[in-house]
Amino acid sequence: MLILLKAIINQEPLQVPRRHINWEAILKVSDFQNIISIVYHAILGLEKEISEECTDQFYQKYKRELLLHTSYGNAKEVIMWQLERYRIHALLLSDVDAGELYPRPGMSYPDQIEFLVEEKNLPQIYRLMRDMDYEQQEDRLESGNVFTRVPGIRVVFFNEIPIANKIVRRTFSEPLKRCPHIEQYEYIHILSEEDGYLYRIGRLVEFYVTGILRMRGILDFWQYQKQLGEGFRRTAVEEILEKAGWTEFVRQIGVLATLWLEDGVRQQYGTALELEEYIITRRQENKHLDRTLLPFEKARPDFYWRSREDEWAHKKREWMFPPREYMIQFYPILERFPFLLVFCWIGRDFRFLRIVCKNRGRKVWLKVRVTFLDIKEKLHSLLPGMKDAERTNDMREAAEVVDIENKNKEEAEVEKDVEEIESQK
């Protein structure tokens, strides 16, 4: 499979394999790693080596991704137009239009659209998405508000940057209004080249610690990195990566991508091979790799992404009452007075309970505000005074349109008279 990836991305001729290949296994792995579109382009000349059923499965999955590309493009334009219409400042964090990163447009993968908005605008956004037939979904691994729609479109609105590292979060702390905006839009903003680079790395880190890092993420980042312009402030970005403790993670991603896509690698790639095994084996625990790549990050507990009842109960107990060795990191006094462990548990759980209640309160308040906006809109349509005001405005606009049309007619008549006079002369 890696040979296929290397050949198609580097636009090299693909040699017919001499030994038997389990194409069903390649299909399964490619689908899980979100690289079906790349592998499909590579097998176009190998139909004789693959069964008809397997070829048809490749084609159907590739066709679905192509249709999603079109649907995502239309959905993005409509959502951006609605945000602009209601004057809601939004920062476009992640776009599905990554076709320019690869030699062929159809080789990118449509994952999801991500926006960063202010918390006060979430009720209005909820109403807009609801009116466009989107449904809100719960996602344990996603900190934002997830909206989905047929045929598989996924849009996420964050009210804070979805990166846990405090040092990197500071770089995104400035107001949305100060970010550069997209052409023809006043309220839709985009990341600078440096912020876009940091955001991509930050998302890869979050995917790694939650166990959902895929080959597609590394390939996209590698292709993106090669297209950075000359004005990219690499020194400033590397300083932030060093402070955040992400330097080794970025380096090993580069080594792994080099192993996959280039020849003549002369680097130490032992850690990169561990990372490759971690990705392919679907998050097999490797504490040594975690400490090497991300010394300041901690892997997210399993109950963030598993829903089995017994494991949930066990993990919840372990989370609420961690062992003394773990608590010493946050309460050094326990080394001298171990009997205070119970009180430290109470203080820790109370703090987390307050955070949970705060998040629940935000969701309830969001629903209340949405309901209030609906009631306000209904009252607005029922009150006669408001109706008269709307009619007055409509009449004024109609009068202005009539005046403009009359002026245009008068100018046209004057031009005709001038032409007749000139013709008579």
Chain segment 231-259, per-residue pLDDT in tens: 889 999 999 999 999 999 999 999 999 88
Per cent of the chain over pLDDT 90 is 26
Nearest 5°: CA angle at 2, between 258 and 152?
Answer: 105
The mean pLDDT value for 303-324 works out to 62
Cβ neighbors of 134 (< 8 A, separation 6 or more) are 147, 148, 149, 153, 155
CB burial string 279-301: b at 16+ within 10 A, e below: beeebeebeebbebbbeebebbe
> What is the pLDDT at residue 414?
44
pTM above 0.75, yes or no: no
- Tens of pLDDT, residue by residue over 80-114, are 999 999 999 999 998 766 657 888 778 888 889 99
- DSSP-derived letter for residue 14 is P
Q: How is the chain split into domains, by residue range?
A: 383-424
The mean pLDDT value for 135-155 works out to 86
Examine the pLDDT at 156 and tell me if it is beyond 50.
yes
> What is the pLDDT at residue 311?
56
Residue 361 to residues 141, 306, 354, 368, 377, Cα–Cα distance (Å): 20, 25, 10, 10, 24
266 against 163, higher pLDDT = 163
Highest mean pLDDT, choosing among 61-75, 322-336, 402-416: 61-75
Residue 190 pLDDT level (bands cut at 50, 70, 90): very high
> What is the pLDDT at residue 307?
47
Stretch among 59-68, 199-208, 366-375 having the lowest mean pLDDT: 366-375
Mean pLDDT of the chain: 80
Examine the pLDDT at 283 and tell me if it is beyond 60.
no
> What is the pLDDT at residue 186?
92
Structural tokens at position 157: 């609105």
CA–CA gap between residue 376 and residue 372 (Å, rounded): 6
> What is the pLDDT at residue 176?
87
Residue 149 pLDDT level (bands cut at 50, 70, 90): very high
> What is the pLDDT at residue 26?
86
* Other CB atoms within 10 Å distance of the CB of residue 70: 11
The mean pLDDT value for 207-224 works out to 90
> What is the pLDDT at residue 410?
52
Chain mean position to CA 335: 43
> What is the pLDDT at residue 111?
85
> What is the pLDDT at residue 312?
61
> What is the pLDDT at residue 5?
79
> What is the pLDDT at residue 390?
52
Closest C-alpha to 208, from 262, 274, 158: 274
The mean pLDDT value for 280-300 works out to 76
> What is the pLDDT at residue 336?
83
Residue 1 pLDDT level (bands cut at 50, 70, 90): confident
Phi first, then psi: what are they for 100, rounded to 5°?
-70, -10
CA–CA gap between residue 112 and residue 216 (Å, rounded): 13
- Tens of pLDDT, residue by residue over 17-76, are 667 778 888 889 889 998 998 888 888 877 677 888 888 998 999 999 888 888 998 999
CA–CA gap between residue 129 and residue 123 (Å, rounded): 10
